[in-house]
């Protein structure tokens, strides 16, 4: 079997890991991987275009790169629904390409709520990019509330659920070869990007790209992206009551310090939303506006 270079991304921080392998044929076409997506175009960096059905399509990459999706995950230690991807590269010359600007998202599909909220945080991020300023998740939610005082959904936005909303922004930026605006949103305490930000290792570099970009000269059409995202929102799958209670309990325990103090008063509403199939972060936010 011909020797190839394999590039994979670390589940924790998108770290590029190169290693040679010549014998593990399963990694190429066996039980570990699904069918390959062939690459047909060439680009200066390794970029991807996010598409539906939990897949990714390379739209501007070397012609002999093959993308394969692992059947052995999801990876839950960082964020639910993250999938690992392995890329087989048959030429040594591609080893030095920037392979960190891929649309590797923490969430397989957006939700209707995350799309609606992305539409209100996007302008805030652009304004901070123009000022070359980072913004905390709490600050992002606060400015969005200030800009939309009559919108109940926005008024009950909680910082702890910002990751999925930022993922919609990130997908748009990378899809359109724009600097990743999601990188300038940071955690209040750590002053770093959150765990759901998949390019964490390169966050400082991404932030500088955002700050040096001329946002005034580039017309940013975000609305059309939201229309496209709406077409691939995840379908709701109802949960049994015991499962819904387990999901609620686990999310509450994991995020208690960042949740509103009165969230305990909304347990029944949260359970209804979870039972209907909404993700935990959406269910908690939706319950607050009832």
Domain-wise residue ranges, the chain = 4-96, 112-231, 241-288
* pLDDT (mean) for 75-99: 32
**Cα-based distances in Å from 102 to 15, 198, 266:** 12, 10, 38
pLDDT tier at 180 (50, 70, 90 boundaries)? very high
Checking phi first, is residue 99 left (phi over 0); if not, alpha (psi -120 to 50) or beta? alpha
Whole-number mean pLDDT of the chain? Answer: 67
pLDDT classification of 144: cutoffs 50, 70, 90: very high
Burial class (CB in 10 A: 0-12, 13-18, 19+), 67: buried
Cβ density class 176-195: b for 16+ within 10 Å, e for less: eebbbbbbbbbbeeeeebbb
Neighbour tally for 52: CB within 10 Å = 12
Averaged pLDDT for residues 274-289: 87
What does each C-alpha distance from 113 to 119, 174, 281 come to in angstroms?
Answer: 10, 21, 10
Q: In the prediction, which pLDDT does 220 show?
A: 62
Q: Annotate 158-216 with DSSP letters as a single string.
A: -GGGHHHHHHHHHHHHHHTT---GGGGEE-TTT-S--TT-TTGGGHHHHHHHHHHS-TT
Rounded to 5 degrees, what are φ and ψ at 92? -60, -30
Give the tokens for residue 188: 């209040």
Of 14-18, 41-45, 283-287, give the lowest mean pLDDT range: 41-45
Query: What is the mean predicted confidence (pLDDT) over 192-210?
Result: 86
Give SS3 for 69. Answer: strand
Pairing of strands 56-60, 47-50: antiparallel
Residue with tokens 């591609």: 94
What is residue 137's predicted lDDT score, i.e. its pLDDT? 93
- Could you give the residue ranges of the DSSP H alpha helices within the chain? 26-29, 112-130, 137-147, 152-155, 162-175, 203-212, 223-231, 241-255, 267-275, 280-288
Please report the pLDDT score of residue 39 as a whole number: 27
Does residue 36 or residue 170 have the better pLDDT?
Answer: 170
């Amino acid at each position: 079997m011909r020797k190839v270079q394999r590039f994979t991304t670390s589940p924790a921080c998108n770290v590029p890991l190169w290693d040679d392998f010549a014998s593990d044929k399963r990694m190429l076409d066996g039980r570990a991987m699904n069918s390959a997506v062939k690459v047909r175009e060439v680009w200066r960096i390794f970029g991807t275009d996010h598409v539906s059905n939990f897949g990714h399509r390379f739209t501007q990459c070397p012609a002999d790169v093959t993308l394969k999706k692992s059947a052995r995950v999801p990876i839950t230690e960082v964020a639910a629904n993250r999938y690992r991807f392995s890329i087989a590269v048959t030429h040594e010359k591609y080893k030095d390409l920037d392979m960190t600007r891929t649309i590797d998202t923490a969430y397989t599909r957006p939700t209707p709520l995350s799309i609606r909220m992305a539409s209100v945080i996007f302008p805030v991020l652009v304004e901070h990019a123009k000022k070359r300023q980072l913004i905390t998740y709490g600050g992002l939610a606060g400015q969005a509330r200030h800009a939309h005082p009559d919108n109940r959904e926005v008024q009950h936005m909680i910082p702890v659920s910002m990751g999925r909303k930022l993922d919609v922004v990130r997908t748009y930026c990378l899809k359109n070869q724009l600097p990743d605006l999601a990188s300038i949103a940071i955690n209040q305490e750590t002053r770093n990007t959150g765990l759901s930000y998949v390019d964490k290792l390169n966050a400082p570099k991404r932030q500088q790209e955002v700050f040096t970009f001329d946002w005034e000269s580039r017309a940013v059409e975000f609305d059309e992206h939201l229309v496209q995202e709406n077409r691939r929102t995840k379908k709701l799958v109802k949960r049994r009551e015991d499962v819904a209670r387990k999901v609620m309990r686990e999310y509450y325990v994991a995020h208690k310090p960042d949740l509103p103090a009165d969230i305990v008063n909304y347990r029944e509403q949260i359970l209804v939303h979870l039972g209907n199939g909404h993700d935990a972060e959406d269910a908690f936010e939706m319950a607050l506006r009832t």
